[in-house]
Amino acid sequence: MSVVRSLVLVFTLGLVACGSRPGSGVSGPQRLVLLHTADTHAELFPWRTLIGSSDARRGLGAAGTVAAVGGYARLKTLLRRERASAPRVLHLDAGDLFQGSLAFERFGGEPEILGFDALGVDAQALGNHELDRGEALVHDAYRSLAEFPLLAANYVNDGDGGLADVLEPFVVLDAAGLRVGVVGVGNTSTVALLGERPNELRALAENAAQAVQGAIDALRPVVDLVVVVTHLGLDADETLVAETSGIDVVLGGHQHLTLDEPKWVLDCGGGGGAAPVVLDAWGNERRCASRRVPIVHSGAYGKYVGRLALELDDDPAELGASYDPLDRYELTALDNTLLPVSADTPDDPELAELLAPYRPDAGTLGALDVLAYAPEALERYGATGGDSPLGNLAAEAVRAAAEADVAVIGASSLRHDLPAGALDLDELVSVAPFEDPVVRVELTGAQVSALFENAARSASARACRTQVHVANLLVRFVCPCRSEHCARAFTPETDVPCAADADCAAFAGACSGRNGEHGVCFAPLSANATYSVATTEYLADGGSELFEPIPATARLGVSDGLSGTLADFLRGGAACPGSGAACTDGCPAALLERAAANCASDGSSSACADPEASCERAVASCREVACADATRGAARDGRIRFEAP
């Protein structure tokens, strides 16, 4: 059969070689504007956030103030303006349209997709949160509502049905004569279902680089430009570019990063080697020449619209010796700007009208800006300083945002305890008021151990109270510290059950169990292994003398501040167990109190008139609102302990 295939290959290629490349609708220098959004997370309406200095610089508002930003209707105003200002505009979204606000909980994605239709989105990459409620919702909602394609080249059909009916690997868009091949890449690292066969998605995850290379190879003969829109995260985007050849632009998402300038990455193996190659979809080597490829990320929750203005050319004389005419247009220049969706941006009235039925009434939970409910007050200090409910919650939030192996933050980042009851942004800003961006760094085990030695000496000077909070780590300090080594740190490398550290003595580990409860053995850090560590910029700069100062170029910015990171983390949690049983219970009572205050200032809503209905709403809302409890890390659990010398 290989003979047959070979003959066909020769015949086919012979035909093509004799022919010419299909004519494009355009030739000569061209301009294209790509509008880019990502991780809008069901934020249909403006939402309140603390404006940081970066936000202020970008025009989102005045630094240090809390402002309502984002919202589809404002987004539409900006997009409409951009589309009117340039003849050739495409709007691509990098996924995570779903999940993040009560709108998704209540309406199951309908307003988000209808809103995207109205925004004129040309294509969307599949985000991991699109799959939060399983395949059926994606299938039904996108199939009947979406006027734009949902893309994921790295999701390969594994049987009939499932996502195969709604997913496409790529789409070819007509941008006023310029044929733009848009390849989508879905997130796979957080979609556990993809590891099973069969699974309800009827899909398997293909190596992203090879899947994209396959799509590029397929499109090269018939398109002018290849844009890849991904939901992988920045570092994975960089890997993707380095392991492929032929991408012109990457528009990314997933980590909620906001890049003011594109990150330029060399494709085709990163430029190394005398004869660089990449692997195609079939694992075959493909020779290529390195080019610089820009990656842009434009933030999350609709705070900004990325605007990437591309200058393109197809003139071999301009593009140099490595230019391959098969690729048609190459990027010659670009201008990247972030358009703020600020409180000053007027609503598009038509989209506002479309979304009006989905806007929560004044007396309902959605209008209260409640992010979560805390059954108990969360203290920032524990008996050992570091192992505290609020500190642990914050460390877990930072780690989740950075998708890091471990997290280490300073106790000085948290200024107050978090009160029990309904929590809104004001409380979080009060607790974490500093504009101290969250960053991710890569450290060796030895470097992590060194920082805990510093922490141990600091704790020793503070009567055995540490100033660090950690996540996904166990730390054992010796206090008072009278030797060179006073700290041991452990990571969850085993699944050996245990009740105490002694049960893990066989491999010098520590037990995550506390007070006789069972846990698992954590293993000591490996000195030469590399760990991704989420922390704050203050600590990374060497603040509190924990870290050796880490160069700015070695940091990956994750978020602008701890309050926003906490807000994002809390919103993603489940409701408190047993919450919403009766109106007089903690959560409903807290919400009713809020609603009463809200109605006092805006009594026009019918939701304010009926106390009985208000009670029912509060009870129902408490089944939806996230819980700030031990399930999110808000508890003392013995992760940091002190031992006598």
| Contact positions with another protein (CB under 8 A) in 572-601 | none
Q: What is the closest distance, in whole angstroms, from the C-beta atom of residue 354 to another protein in the complex?
A: 4
Residue of 161, 497, 549, 611 that binds another protein (CB under 8 A): 161
Query: Does 145 interact with another protein (rule: CB under 8 A)?
Result: yes
**Only segment of 146-154, 387-395, 465-473, 605-613 that touches another protein (CB under 8 A):** 146-154
Give the tokens for residue 174.
Answer: 């007509």
DSSP string, 135-188: HHHHHHHHHHH-SS-EE-TTEEE-SSSGGGGTEESEEEEEETTEEEEEEEE---
Q: What is the closest distance, in whole angstroms, from the C-beta atom of residue 232 to another protein in the complex?
A: 13
Q: What is the closest distance, in whole angstroms, from the C-beta atom of residue 631 to another protein in the complex?
A: 23
CA 486 → CA 289, 460, 550, 645, distances in Å? 52, 9, 23, 8
Residue of 90, 97, 205, 401 that binds another protein (CB under 8 A): 205
**Only segment of 17-25, 126-134, 549-557, 613-621 that touches another protein (CB under 8 A):** 17-25
DSSP string, 309-361: EEEEE--HHHH-TT--GGG--EEEEEEEEEEE--TTSPPPHHHHHHHGGGSPP
CA–CA separation, 462 and 456 (whole Å) = 10
CA–CA separation, 456 and 483 (whole Å) = 10
Query: Does 5 interact with another protein (rule: CB under 8 A)?
Result: yes
For another protein, the closer CB: 58 or 328: 328
For another protein, the closer CB: 10 or 582: 10
Query: Does 144 interact with another protein (rule: CB under 8 A)?
Result: yes
Q: What is the closest distance, in whole angstroms, from the C-beta atom of residue 228 to another protein in the complex?
A: 17
Strand 249-252 to strand 487-491: parallel, antiparallel, or no bridges (unpaired)?
A: unpaired
CA 595 → CA 364, 372, 424, 589, distances in Å? 7, 15, 13, 10
For another protein, the closer CB: 60 or 355: 355
All residues at 6 or more sequence positions from 426 whose CB lies less than 8 Å from its CB, including other chains: 66
CA–CA separation, 488 and 387 (whole Å) = 15
Q: What is the closest distance, in whole angstroms, from the C-beta atom of residue 5 to another protein in the complex?
A: 6
Residue of 99, 210, 336, 614 that binds another protein (CB under 8 A): 210
Binding to another protein (CB under 8 A): which residues in 164-183? Answer: 164-165, 168-169, 171-172, 174, 176-179
Query: Does 25 interact with another protein (rule: CB under 8 A)?
Result: yes
Query: Does 126 interact with another protein (rule: CB under 8 A)?
Result: no
Residue of 127, 184, 186, 214 that binds another protein (CB under 8 A): 214
**Only segment of 214-222, 233-241, 446-454, 550-558 that touches another protein (CB under 8 A):** 214-222
CA–CA separation, 441 and 615 (whole Å) = 47
Q: Is 62 exposed, middle or buried (0-12, 13-18, 19+ CB in 10 A)?
A: exposed
CA 223 → CA 177, 292, 362, distances in Å? 11, 20, 50
Query: Does 281 interact with another protein (rule: CB under 8 A)?
Result: yes
Query: Does 192 interact with another protein (rule: CB under 8 A)?
Result: no
Query: Does 8 interact with another protein (rule: CB under 8 A)?
Result: yes
Query: Does 204 interact with another protein (rule: CB under 8 A)?
Result: yes
Q: What is the closest distance, in whole angstroms, from the C-beta atom of residue 216 to another protein in the complex?
A: 9
For another protein, the closer CB: 26 or 393: 26
Q: What is the closest distance, in whole angstroms, from the C-beta atom of residue 45 to another protein in the complex?
A: 15
Q: Is 527 exposed, middle or buried (0-12, 13-18, 19+ CB in 10 A)?
A: exposed
Q: What is the closest distance, in whole angstroms, from the C-beta atom of residue 209 to another protein in the complex?
A: 8
Q: How many residues does the chain have?
A: 645
Binding to another protein (CB under 8 A): which residues in 295-314? Answer: none
CA–CA separation, 377 and 433 (whole Å) = 18
- Candidates 109, 162, 172; CA nearest to 135 is 162
Residue count at the site for another protein (CB under 8 A)? Answer: 72
Residue of 3, 17, 274, 317 that binds another protein (CB under 8 A): 17
For another protein, the closer CB: 2 or 483: 2
Give the tokens for residue 104.
Answer: 């998704």
Residue of 57, 282, 505, 582 that binds another protein (CB under 8 A): 282
For another protein, the closer CB: 23 or 577: 23
For another protein, the closer CB: 276 or 638: 276
For another protein, the closer CB: 48 or 359: 359
Strand 89-93 to strand 123-125: parallel, antiparallel, or no bridges (unpaired)?
A: parallel
Query: Does 16 interact with another protein (rule: CB under 8 A)?
Result: yes
Binding to another protein (CB under 8 A): which residues in 499-518? Answer: none
- How many Cβ atoms sit within 10 Å of the Cβ of residue 577? 9
| Residues 532-571 as x/- pattern, contact with another protein by CB under 8 A | ----------------------------------------
Cα three-residue angle 30-33-36, rounded to 5 degrees: 150
Residue of 28, 320, 325, 516 that binds another protein (CB under 8 A): 325
Query: Cα-Cα-Cα-Cα dihedral of 433, 261, 228, 237, to 10°?
Result: -60
Q: What is the closest distance, in whole angstroms, from the C-beta atom of residue 491 to another protein in the complex?
A: 21
Residue of 87, 134, 159, 549 that binds another protein (CB under 8 A): 159
What H or E segment, with its residue span, contains residue 372?
strand 370-374
**Only segment of 160-168, 414-422, 618-626, 632-640 that touches another protein (CB under 8 A):** 160-168
Q: Which residues pair with 442 in a beta bridge?
A: 532
CA–CA separation, 492 and 179 (whole Å) = 49
- Strand (E) positions, 452-586? 468-471, 474-478, 487-491, 497-498, 510-511, 519-524, 530-536, 555-559
Binding to another protein (CB under 8 A): which residues in 354-393? Answer: 354
* Positive/negative CA dihedral, 121, 122, 125, 126: positive
Binding to another protein (CB under 8 A): which residues in 64-123? Answer: 114, 117-118, 120
Q: What is the closest distance, in whole angstroms, from the C-beta atom of residue 129 to another protein in the complex?
A: 22
Q: What is the closest distance, in whole angstroms, from the C-beta atom of residue 42 to another protein in the complex?
A: 17
Q: Which residues pair with 294 in a beta bridge?
A: 264
